[in-house]
Structure 1
């Protein structure tokens, strides 16, 4: 076959250029740094409706809002994550962290996981395979009454509390649950005691304690519908220095006692001075036991309450214009208390008082 000399020269030039170009391509080193895609947007302030405060193991703070997603603050910059970034819902009801440093945000419709780079939605098991267990690494979610999940590190197990034949609520005990105005077993709060037992507070069915094998039920009347028709619900369960449990109210406290038929004993919680409790709702929506063993409790419009083992004191929170509506209380690694509110962002403890927290960005 005869090749035109001009074509031969062109072929040689093209081949030479390809070889030359290929020789200039440098392979990427095996240890090249991969820069993750950053989600969220930088903002300068928190929303007014911050229901939850949480500090992770790195020392960073997370603030869950009631409609504007979640905020992350590392001490220098403030970032906001919403459904646009993959968050399952913009109302954040709870924040937790697992042993690997992943952050979990519970919302009214499900749970999102943040691994430091991206947000994913956890999968739910709705089958008989959803089992009651209590492993040390388990996480529990309730979305403030929207579900009850146990997370084993891979799956969300959809659970229901055991029904009680002698349930003390002001409804027809023979009425099927699906015909009731609301399910009395709806879980309003989840807490763990010093021994690792899980406590579940309900809207109208009292409180349940799960030790990993069996349940103890506390179904006292003050934990159900009140004589005036109010249904305060058991939203927070905290343990005092003497081992008694306070179940969202200042009237009674309980101690586990297997020797008694009910499995617990009930005593008066504390003397209630009239000058302090006048016109106050004596049920708290959030509580903690601080590092000194003091109990701290919040009421929606009644301020912060403290019990030091002997007496109960109250401190109202104002901003000079309005009463601050408190939703939650949290203690960070330094022992400082934080308050989540429904009308004025976040408040931080400063000595004997609480001041509004403004991130420095």
Structure 2
């Protein structure tokens, strides 16, 4: 593959705090630019970085770069959004349109999409994938969805005129759109329903939106986090997730992610103070990580989570990786719990002789819930014969503790 390859021997800056190890990466380690605008992790745990100097990938050893000088079909070096898809493709957005990297093809084949091809607008704000593999592209004017062959777009008056900053999908397959100035919009395939400050949202300025396995909508705003319940009838709010000195307690959210343990990670940056950090919610308690703990910078731009639940943080001064220790199994489960076979083809057996597990959830590789059992008792056999081949995550709930294991379904 004709990619510009950076073979580097680098010395990583490491910090350990509160049982967390933080590793930092800068241009000294192989980054093309310390200002990283966006970040994502692919199905092989390669890390992709969007910078003003091109798209970069780190495979754990080597650094690879794609820019316009080597790949003229790339619409811009200034990458504003990245999405790594379930089939291994890489989609990147800029102010000039969208590119799709057919990764693994000799010569790194790039396809480009602009308004001439069906995009509603060329200024890309977000890229998301639904459970069917459709690509939803948020722009400054609306959203366009690609089904593999053609584009369909939605804009004002169905969506707010300020555009779409993020798209999320609930367990019903409904779409939820975040707007920079118009709150969020729910699309059930027929009707568009708006949720904003008039009916309980913290702020009109919505930067990100994620949906957990219970169908709670976690909404990142300029004033904190609003959570819309599964019935879409009531909100709860978090306004001080990250600790700042009074009176400057405002917590504008930059990005949100949920790891496989069900923990919420929130990137916070207060522009007028030039201060920011990471807030993590677990068991109803917030933990903070910032430059004091070893994070490389305060201007947090984006976050992403790999398969080991390590959190990758893009900042204006480099990239940090928080190595998160796995949630521990209760001692009794270590000897009395099992699930098998793994890999499996048709059935999965789960045994818990001490009845500590109450609920079981299975998510596919893009985070969509594909199975739930809220009344588990000691033993169950799950029919997975209709599941697609691939990597899944099976989560077990024991009281207030969640723990997650990888599950491979083969043909």
> What's the CA shift for 1:59?
3.1
Report the CA distance shift for 1:212/1:72 in structure 2 as closer, same or farther (over 3 A): same
Corresponding residue for residue 121 of structure 1: 112
Conserved? CA contact 1:234–1:247, under 8 Å: yes
> What's the CA shift for 1:333?
1.4
> What's the CA shift for 1:74?
2.4
Segments of 5+ residues of structure 1 without an aligned counterpart are 1-35, 128-133, 165-182, 258-263, 353-361
Corresponding residue for residue 80 of structure 1: 65
Conserved? CA contact 1:223–1:234, under 8 Å: no
Corresponding residue for residue 288 of structure 1: 257
Conserved? CA contact 2:113–2:119, under 8 Å: no
Corresponding residue for residue 59 of structure 1: 45
Report the CA distance shift for 1:149/1:274 in structure 2 as closer, same or farther (over 3 A): closer
Corresponding residue for residue 217 of structure 2: 245
Alignment counterpart, residue 208 of structure 2, candidates 236, 249, 262? 236
Give the Cα separation in 1 of the matches to 2:244 and 2:131. Answer: 42
> What's the CA shift for 1:42?
3.3
Q: Which stretch shifts more, 243-252 or 148-157?
A: 243-252
Does residue 210 (structure 1) correspond to residue 187 (structure 2)? The answer is: yes
Report the CA distance shift for 1:252/1:83 in structure 2 as closer, same or farther (over 3 A): same
Conserved? CA contact 1:88–1:112, under 8 Å: yes
Report the CA distance shift for 1:39/1:315 in structure 2 as closer, same or farther (over 3 A): closer
Q: Count the aligned residue pairs.
A: 277
Corresponding residue for residue 140 of structure 1: 136
Does residue 344 (structure 1) correspond to residue 317 (structure 2)? The answer is: yes
Conserved? CA contact 2:297–2:318, under 8 Å: no
> What's the CA shift for 1:309?
4.3
Does residue 92 (structure 1) correspond to residue 60 (structure 2)? The answer is: no
Where does 1:217-232 land on structure 2 (aligned, <5 Å)?
Answer: 217-221=194-198
> What's the CA shift for 1:146?
6.2
Conserved? CA contact 1:271–1:311, under 8 Å: no
> What's the CA shift for 1:69?
0.9
Corresponding residue for residue 291 of structure 2: 317
> What's the CA shift for 1:98?
4.0
Segments of 5+ residues of structure 2 without an aligned counterpart are 9-29, 121-129, 270-274, 326-411
Does residue 49 (structure 1) correspond to residue 35 (structure 2)? The answer is: yes
3-state SS, counterpart of residue 125 of structure 1:
coil
Give the Cα separation in 2 of the matches to 1:273 and 1:109. Answer: 35
Structure number with higher strand proportion: 2
Q: Deviations over 1:230-259 (max 9, x none)?
A: x7x2011123565432211446421243xx
Conserved? CA contact 1:185–1:205, under 8 Å: yes
Does residue 268 (structure 1) correspond to residue 236 (structure 2)? The answer is: yes
Give the Cα separation in 2 of the matches to 1:273 and 1:77. Answer: 36
Report the CA distance shift for 1:321/1:120 in structure 2 as closer, same or farther (over 3 A): closer
Q: Deviations over 1:251-280 (max 9, x none)?
A: 6421243xxxxxx32233248589667323
Alignment counterpart, residue 111 of structure 1, candidates 82, 90, 98? 98
> What's the CA shift for 1:214?
2.8
> What's the CA shift for 1:198?
2.4
Structure number with higher helix proportion: 1
Corresponding residue for residue 146 of structure 2: 151
Report the CA distance shift for 1:75/1:146 in structure 2 as closer, same or farther (over 3 A): farther
Bigger Cα Rg = 1
Report the CA distance shift for 1:154/1:163 in structure 2 as closer, same or farther (over 3 A): closer
Report the CA distance shift for 1:73/1:267 in structure 2 as closer, same or farther (over 3 A): closer
CA RMSD of aligned residues (A): 3.2
Give the Cα separation in 2 of the matches to 1:291 and 1:272. Answer: 24
Conserved? CA contact 2:43–2:86, under 8 Å: no
Corresponding residue for residue 177 of structure 2: 200
3-state SS, counterpart of residue 302 of structure 1:
strand
Report the CA distance shift for 1:59/1:293 in structure 2 as closer, same or farther (over 3 A): closer
Conserved? CA contact 1:317–1:323, under 8 Å: yes
> What's the CA shift for 1:58?
3.0
